[in-house]
Amino acid sequence: MASDAGVEITRRPDDYEKVKKELVAAGYRGERVVVLACSTIPSIHAMSQVATDVLRRIGMNINMQLLEWGSVVARRASREPLDKGGWSIFYTSLGGMGNISPGPNLPLQASGATAWFRLAR
């Protein structure tokens, strides 16, 4: 079940300036991005450090909030705007066989009010 298809994009040098220009061309104008990062689960904490660093390098206006996991879970339920406790990004990971097939994959079952979680708007 292994394949090299699509791997080449991960093997080239990083070009943050190119991505920064593409982000601006796509309409990003420096809006604040609130990131909920977990401090109590080492793998998710490491993921949040690396991914948020990349977002900053490409020019995003990041407000990273380091919280324990219970607070991340409680906060991600908010559908409020950013200035009222909302959020833009949170990091997590899912394991197990339920992620191999689209049928039981919870994040793929994201339709309206029944979604696994909903983004604040």
Which residue blocks in 35-96 are alpha helix, DSSP H? 42-57, 69-76
- Does pTM surpass 0.85? no
pLDDT recorded at residue 95: 67
Going by C-beta distance under 8 Å and a sequence separation of 6 or more, which residues neighbour residue 55? 33, 35, 62, 89
Neighbouring C-beta atoms of residue 9, cutoff 10 Å: 6
pLDDT digits (tens, 9 = 90+) for 73-115: 999 888 899 999 999 999 988 766 666 666 666 666 555 565 5
103 or 67: which leads in pLDDT: 67
